[in-house]
Amino acid sequence: MKTTKLMLAAIATFLTTWCSLALLGFLLSDTPFKECMTHTATIMCLMIFGWIPSVIVCMDLDERGN
């Protein structure tokens, strides 16, 4: 059950990071939000930096023991 919680937390954090990066791109440009979600720059930034918050959240949950 612990690994399931860690997996769900990692996926949720990754998706939240993706939406946050797309929202940032949407607010800083004139492109629609849907296009920002699938833009190459957003995906590239997500692949480079998006895993970091997921790792931090999972490490914290693992240390807590839940």
Average pLDDT over all residues of the chain: 92
Q: Enter the pTM of the model.
A: 0.85
DSSP symbols for 16-43? HHHHHHHHHHHHHSSS-HHHHHT-HHHH
Question: C-alpha distances in angstroms, 22 versus 7, 36, 50, 57?
Answer: 23, 5, 12, 20
Phi-psi region of 65 (alpha: psi -120 to 50; beta: other; left: phi over 0): left
33-60: pLDDT as tens digits: 999 999 999 999 999 998 999 999 999 9
